[in-house]
């Protein structure tokens, strides 16, 4: 994982971008925003909002330099003057408005800023930040009057969490820069306009991305495909999921053949997994190496969604964390189903 530190805010401008599908329109600023009184709050908001585990880069078909956002960002990095910064920030706003057509996309403030003295693995560089504030927060403003205090409801930007944003670091420009991304407001398909339609970014093939993707493929195979090809119980599927996570937890490097042998074992199951893996990569345009360094952060994230609970009607939940030989499934003569569990110590 790369060591990234953010620097000092240099320029900031704010525009209002509406929903084009509703013909909301836009309102552009012609001058930079004075952030002197709130610089500390903005810096804290940016630093606390972004994570640097999975990183991205601009891309575009058929070629990178046809990506409008890549062009706007490149122009600012090559000419950091105030007039060019303002003009390119407006270009970003126009482009975002063109992509804001889905009825669920909210109007909001688009903030574009320039930051000096950032560092990646101790290499100093500049950074361009973009974020959009969609969800407003209400606060009560206390007003000091001559004979009493008054209260006024004020709506404004949340100072604890950003809605949508990205940081573009001035490095690897020929391959699409280095980008940190966030979208806290929407996870549904129509909300991908920020990442896919507006920014047009793809994950970098680092250890976090490789680990995250492969664990996802293994989970999809076990939960959706395995019982299509074989007769397996839910306990068996949970065991495969547990072994998948355990492999990544106890190893520092990943080897696909070792993973298949250790987790699936049976040659028929391995062959089924290889077919599923190949089809999944083609259908989802996923590129993965067969050997890579394992990211512990990605393992921690993925392991949260690997279910190890066997739910029986509404009466029992059995948590399975290890040896599947300690649980047996059967059917009584009267047709009732059962699980028999073996243990050494009651805690």
> DSSP string spanning 79-111?
---HHHHHHHHHHHHHHHHHH--STTPPPEEEE
Q: Please report the DSSP string for 170-204 in residue order.
A: SS-GGGT-EEEEEE-S--SGGGGGIIIIII-EEE-
Query: Which of 191, 24, 193, 199 has its CA nearest to residue 107?
Result: 24
Tell me how crowded residue 321 is: count the other CB atoms within 10 A of its CB: 9
Q: What average pLDDT does the structure give for the chain?
A: 87
Q: Are 136 and 16 in contact (CB under 8 A)?
A: no
Candidates 196, 181, 17; CA nearest to 106 is 17
Model confidence pLDDT, tens digit, residues 243-253: 898 899 999 99
Lowest mean pLDDT among 84-98, 135-149, 181-195, 259-273: 181-195
pLDDT at 309 (0 to 100): 59
Q: What mean pLDDT comes out for the span 141-148?
A: 85
The better pLDDT of the pair 318, 344 is held by 344
Q: Omega before 292 cis (within 30°)? A: no
Per DSSP, the residues of 232-292 read --HHHHHHHHHHHHHHHHH-SEEEHHHHHHHHT-SHHHHHHHHHHHHHHHHHHT----SEE
Q: Does the reported pTM lie above 0.85?
A: no
* pLDDT(279) > 70: yes
Predicted confidence at residue 157, as pLDDT, reads 82
Q: For residue 319, is pLDDT > 70?
A: no
Residue 114, SS3? strand
At residue 3, the pLDDT reads: 87
pLDDT band for position 308 (50/70/90)?
low
Task: Using a pLDDT cut of 70, give the percent of the chain over it.
Answer: 90
Residue 238 has pLDDT above 60, yes or no: yes
Q: Specify the DSSP class assigned to residue 295.
A: P
Please name the residue that has the structure tokens 């600012």: 76
Q: What is the pLDDT of residues 175-215, one digit of tens each?
A: 999 999 987 765 554 457 899 999 999 988 889 989 999 99
Number of H helices, E strands in the chain: 9, 17
* Least-confidence region, from 34-43, 90-99, 178-187, 294-303: 178-187
- For the residues 304-314, what does the mean pLDDT come to? 65
Give the mean pLDDT of 64-78. Answer: 97
Poorest-confidence range of 44-53, 85-94, 274-283, 301-310?
301-310
DSSP letter (8 states) at residue 66: G
Residue 307 confidence class, pLDDT cut points 50, 70, 90: low
Q: Is the pLDDT of residue 38 over 70?
A: yes
Quick one: CA dihedral 173, 178, 182, 183, positive or negative?
positive
Non-local (6+) Cβ contacts of 24 within 8 A are: 18, 107
Label residues 11-49 b or e (16+ Cβ within 10 Å = b). Answer: bbbbbbbbbbeeebebeebeebbebeeeeeebbebbeeb
Mean pLDDT within 80-109: 94
Residue 266 predicted with pLDDT over 50: yes
């Amino acid at each position: 994982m790369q060591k990234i530190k953010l620097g000092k805010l240099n320029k900031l401008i704010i525009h209002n971008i509406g929903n084009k599908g509703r013909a909301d329109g836009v309102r552009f600023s012609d001058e930079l925003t004075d952030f002197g009184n709130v610089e500390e709050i903005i810096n804290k908001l940016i630093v606390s909002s972004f994570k640097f585990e999975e990183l991205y880069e601009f891309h575009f078909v058929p070629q990178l330099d046809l990506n409008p956002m890549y062009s706007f960002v490149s122009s600012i990095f090559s000419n950091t003057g105030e007039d060019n910064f303002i003009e390119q920030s407006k270009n970003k706003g126009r482009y975002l408005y063109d992509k804001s057509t889905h009825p669920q996309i909210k109007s909001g403030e688009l903030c574009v800023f320039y930051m000096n003295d950032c560092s990646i693995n101790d290499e100093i560089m500049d950074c361009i930040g973009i974020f959009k504030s969609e969800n407003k927060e209400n606060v009560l403003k206390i007003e000091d009057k001559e004979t009493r205090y008054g209260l006024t409801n004020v709506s404004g930007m949340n100072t604890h969490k950003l809605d949508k944003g990205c940081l573009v670091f001035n490095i690897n420009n020929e391959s699409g820069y280095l980008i940190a991304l966030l979208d806290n407001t929407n996870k549904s398909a129509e909300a991908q306009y920020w990442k896919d339609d507006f920014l047009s970014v793809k994950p970098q093939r680092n250890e976090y991305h490789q680990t995250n993707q492969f664990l996802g493929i293994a989970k999809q195979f076990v939960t959706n495909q395995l019982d299509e090809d074989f007769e397996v119980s839910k306990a068996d599927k949970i065991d495969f999921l547990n072994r998948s996570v355990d492999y990544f937890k106890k190893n520092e490097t990943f080897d696909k053949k070792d993973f298949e042998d250790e987790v699936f074992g049976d040659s028929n199951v391995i062959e089924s997994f290889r077919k599923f893996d190949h089809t999944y990569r083609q259908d989802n345009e996923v590129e993965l190496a067969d050997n890579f360094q394992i990211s512990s952060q990605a393992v921690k994230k993925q392991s949260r969604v690997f279910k190890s609970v066997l739910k029986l009607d509404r009466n029992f939940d059995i948590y399975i964390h290890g040896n599947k030989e300690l649980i047996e499934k059967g059917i009584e003569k009267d047709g009732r189903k059962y699980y028999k569990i073996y243990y050494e110590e009651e805690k």
